[in-house]
Structure 1
Amino acid sequence: MIDKETKEKYAKEKCTDKICPIHGSISLRGRSFKGTIIKKFPKRVVISFDRTLFVEKYERYAKRKTKLHARLPECMFKDVHVGDYIEIMETRPISKIINFVVTKKIQSKDEKVGGKKK
Structure 2
Amino acid sequence: MTRNIGLPVIEPKEKPVKNENNNPFNGSLTIRGKLFEGIVINAKAKGTAVIQKESPVYFKKFKRFGRSKNTIHAHIPSNLNVQKGDYVVAAECRPISKSVSFVIVEVKS
What residue number does 2:74 align with? 70
- Aligned mates of 2:39, 2:9 — CA distance in 1: 22
- Select 1:22's aligned residue among 18, 21, 25: 25
Secondary structure of 2:30 counterpart: coil
- Aligned mates of 1:85, 1:3 — CA distance in 2: 16
Secondary structure of 1:89 counterpart: strand
Distance verdict in 2 for CA 1:70–1:4, change over 3 Å? closer
Say if 2:53 and 2:70, in contact at 8 Å, map to a contact too. yes
**CA deviation profile, 1:51-76 (whole Å, cap 9, x unmatched):** 12232432433211111100111121
Task: Structure 1: give runs of 5+ residues left out of the alignment.
Answer: 108-118
RMSD: 1.7
Say if 2:9 and 2:105, in contact at 8 Å, map to a contact too. no
TM-score when normalising by structure 2: 0.81
- Aligned mates of 1:89, 1:105 — CA distance in 2: 12
TM-score when normalising by structure 1: 0.76
Percent identity for Structure 1 against Structure 2: 28
More helix per residue? 1
Q: How does 1:1-118 map to 2 (within 5 A)?
A: 1-3=6-8, 5-7=10-12, 9-10=13-14, 13-15=15-17, 16-40=19-43, 41-76=45-80, 79-107=81-109
Distance verdict in 2 for CA 1:14–1:94, change over 3 Å? closer
